[in-house]
């Protein structure tokens, strides 16, 4: 999120910078100031994209999830953050994962495009998981992720006060950085827990001409959820995700989704000190599921945008199964 990233960046520079930014009019907060902090200082920031429907997008943060649904699962999501605010984030994600037949292995692939103002960040990842089966449908999975990141910054999108400034004469084009991640995922028919870090290497994107550094910090994720059978036709799943990264506040997302008649889902979510969200989903067929979420800011930023929208589609290949008797709720 732009606000979280900027506050984190500013805090790394010293507290004297923070009050002036916190009190200024957000509509005057042009994307040029974003690039100023990106390019003029050593940046330690919270860079992983934000998702409200994190419970459906587990593969991108935890490689041990690969193959856990027991069939090939294809997933696509788009998020428009803070609609109406110049330079606001827009994130698109595609993911595919499947178990390998007659083995304990799972494979996954994901692609994420994250745009923030003049910055365009692309990430391609491959995932491998290995699972140990226990009694009563319990499973412990270990995962490994290989990541390739590409960073682009287009300074022509900025309204620069000094166009002849050498720092903005040439763009950053396809700056490549390799990385890897790991995760553990424990699941039962009723609940799941996972811990992971998608990027272990704290890599730097360095530009000698601009004397700038963008540093990727390690992000630690802890996720969990439990499914309660309230009635024969109604299930309730509270879930959480916490994200820890050095230099940024602890982020906690809480949600509760209800599944009705194995077809409809309705839910609410709360991002602590940030946003309230409404979620809805519909099982269009045995294979196709669609979901939508709307975020409303709980901060003063709500006065300057019309909220955030997130939509996803999930398509699953049933293989030898003619239909899903009881759809997986996680």
Total domain count, the chain:
1
- Which residues contact residue 119 at a Cβ distance below 8 angstroms, ignoring those fewer than 6 apart? 34, 35, 38, 151, 152, 153
Predicted confidence band at 182 (pLDDT cuts at 50, 70, 90)?
A: very high
pLDDT for the residue 329: 78
Q: Identify whether 184 is part of a domain.
A: yes
For residues 114 and 153, what is the distance between their CA atoms, to the nearest angstrom? 12
250 or 277: which carries more pLDDT confidence? Answer: 277
Closest CA to 305 of 115, 114, 80, 116: 80
For 283-328, write each residue's pLDDT tens digit: 999 899 999 999 999 988 888 889 999 999 999 997 654 444 445 6
Whichever domain contains 191, its CATH number is: 2.40.160.40
Q: Identify whether 330 is part of a domain.
A: no
In sequence order, the β-bridge partners of residue 177 are: 149
Q: Identify whether 325 is part of a domain.
A: no
Indicate left, alpha or beta for 263 from its phi (over 0: left) and psi (-120 to 50: alpha): alpha
Alpha helices in the chain (DSSP H): 2-13, 18-23, 31-40
pLDDT for the residue 165: 65
Mean pLDDT of 76-105: 93
pLDDT for the residue 93: 96
Q: Residue 198 is part of which domain span? A: 2-317
- Which residues contact residue 312 at a Cβ distance below 8 angstroms, ignoring those fewer than 6 apart? 53, 56, 57, 75, 76, 77, 78, 290, 291, 292
pLDDT for the residue 231: 94
Residue 103 has pLDDT above 80, yes or no: yes
For 202-214, write each residue's pLDDT tens digit: 876 555 555 555 5
Q: Identify whether 328 is part of a domain.
A: no
Predicted confidence band at 1 (pLDDT cuts at 50, 70, 90)?
A: very low
Residue 31 has pLDDT above 80, yes or no: no
Q: Identify whether 146 is part of a domain.
A: yes
Q: Identify whether 140 is part of a domain.
A: yes
Mean pLDDT of 174-180: 89
Residues above pLDDT 70, as percent of the chain: 75
For 115-158, write each residue's pLDDT tens digit: 988 889 999 999 999 999 999 999 999 999 999 999 888 877 77
1 or 103: which carries more pLDDT confidence? Answer: 103
Q: What is the number of other CB atoms lying within 10 angstroms of the CB of residue 15?
A: 8
Residue 43 has pLDDT above 70, yes or no: no
Mean pLDDT of 84-102: 92
Q: Identify whether 170 is part of a domain.
A: yes
Closest CA to 88 of 274, 307, 291, 248: 307
Mean pLDDT of 66-72: 94
Q: Identify whether 9 is part of a domain.
A: yes
């Amino acid at each position: 999120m732009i606000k979280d990233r900027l506050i984190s960046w500013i805090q790394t520079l010293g507290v004297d910078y923070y009050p002036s930014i916190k009190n200024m009019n957000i509509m005057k907060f042009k994307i040029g100031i974003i690039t100023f902090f990106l390019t003029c200082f050593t940046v330690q920031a919270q860079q992983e994209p934000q998702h409200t429907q994190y419970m459906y997008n587990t593969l991108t943060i935890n490689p041990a999830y690969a193959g856990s649904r027991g069939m090939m699962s294809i997933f696509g999501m788009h998020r428009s953050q803070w609609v109406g605010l110049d330079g606001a984030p827009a994130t698109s994600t595609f993911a595919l994962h499947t178990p390998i037949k007659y083995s304990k292995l799972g494979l996954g692939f994901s692609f994420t495009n994250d745009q923030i103002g003049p910055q365009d960040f692309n990430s391609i990842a491959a995932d491998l998981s290995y699972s140990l089966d226990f009694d009563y449908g319990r499973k412990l999975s270990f995962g490994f992720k290989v990541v390739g990141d590409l960073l682009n910054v287009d300074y022509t999108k900025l309204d620069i006060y000094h166009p002849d400034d050498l720092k903005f004469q040439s763009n950053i084009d396809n700056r490549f950085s390799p990385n890897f991640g790991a995760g553990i995922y424990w699941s039962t028919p009723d609940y799941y827990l996972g811990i992971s870090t998608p990027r272990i290497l704290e890599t730097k994107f360095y530009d000698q001409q601009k004397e700038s550094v963008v540093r990727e910090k390690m992000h630690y994720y802890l996720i969990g959820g439990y499914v309660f059978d309230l009635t024969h036709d109604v299930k309730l799943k509270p879930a959480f995700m916490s994200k820890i990264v050095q230099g940024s506040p602890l982020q906690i997302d809480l949600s509760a989704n209800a599944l009705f008649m194995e077809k409809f889902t309705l839910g609410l979510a709360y991002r602590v000190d940030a946003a309230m969200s409404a979620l809805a989903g519909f099982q269009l067929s045995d294979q196709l599921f669609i979901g939508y979420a709307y975020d409303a800011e709980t901060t003063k930023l709500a006065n300057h945008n019309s909220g955030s929208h997130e939509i996803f589609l999930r398509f699953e290949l049933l293989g030898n199964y003619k239909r899903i008797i009881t759809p997986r709720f996680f």
